[in-house]
Chain A
Amino acid sequence: MLRIERATRDAIVAHAKRDHPDEACGIVAGPAGSDRAERLVEMVNAAGSPTFYEFDSLDLLALYREMDDRDEEPVVVYHSHTATEAYPSRTDIGLASEPNAHYVLVSTREHGNNEGPVEFRSYRIVDGVVTEEPVEVVEHLPTNTAADAAAADETVESES
C-alpha cells in the first residue's frame, strides 16, 4: 500500500495538469528504509514529450547526490500519462529500476489542464512484474514512532 499525504497527492496532480499535454515526472523522497513519502521533488521532463519522460542526466545525478547526503531514497517515482490510462506501459515496466519504490501513474487524459478528477494509481514494478496497490490518502503521515522513541530516550537521559 502507498500512504501519501493529501497535499503531496494534490501537488503531483497539479504538476501533471500544468505540464499536460507533455508528461510530468518527479519523485517523493523519504528516509531510507522508512517507506515514508515525505519530500516532493518535481523534475523536468528532459524529453519534453506527450509520450515519453526522462529525467535530465545531470539533474538525476544531483538528485541522487542530494538524497544520499540526506540518507533518503526515492519512495515514490511518479509520472503522468496524458492520453492513456494510469497504468504502466511496456516501456515503463522495462525501464523501472527502483524495486523499492512505489510507481505512481497519473492520467490527465480526461480533463487535461483543467479542473476535474484524475486517475491516481500506484504500483510495484519488480523484475518486469507489475502489482497494483491501494493508495491511502491521509492528512498527515503518522508520527515517526521510532524517531520519537529515540528522542524521548535522549530526553530521559539528559534529565537523569
Chain B
Amino acid sequence: MIKTKFGLWDGAACFLVLLLALGLALGLHAGAKNGGAVVAVSADGALALQRPLEGTEGRFPIDGEYPLTVCISGGRVWVEDSHCPGGDCQAQRPISRPGQSIVCLPGRITVAIRGGDGAADLIVG
C-alpha cells in the first residue's frame, strides 16, 4: 500500500537531499581559491581557450556546433551571443569562483574556472 500523506520519513528524505546538496556545495567551495585561477573553455572535450581569471579582459569567440562568445571581465566570466537554440548558457549568471562552470549541453562546450594556487578543483569525501 502506497502512502499518500507526507510523513516523517518523507521529511527525512528531503533533509537528506538538502544535506547532500550542502555537502557538495561546501566541498566544491572548499577547493576554491581565486589566486591564480584560470578560465578554461572546452569544446567537445578538447581545450579551446585558457586564460587567467584575474587581469584578463575581453570577448573570446568559441567555435563549435553552436558557436558562442565567452566574456571575461573584472574577475567574472559569462557567455554572450550563443547560437544554441536552448540559450541556457546565456541565461546563467556570471561565474567568478573556482569550481563554478557554465555548460552548453547541445554545443558540448564547458566554461569552467579552475582552482589556483595548486588547489584541487573538487574535494570528495
State yes or no: do A and B come from one complex. no
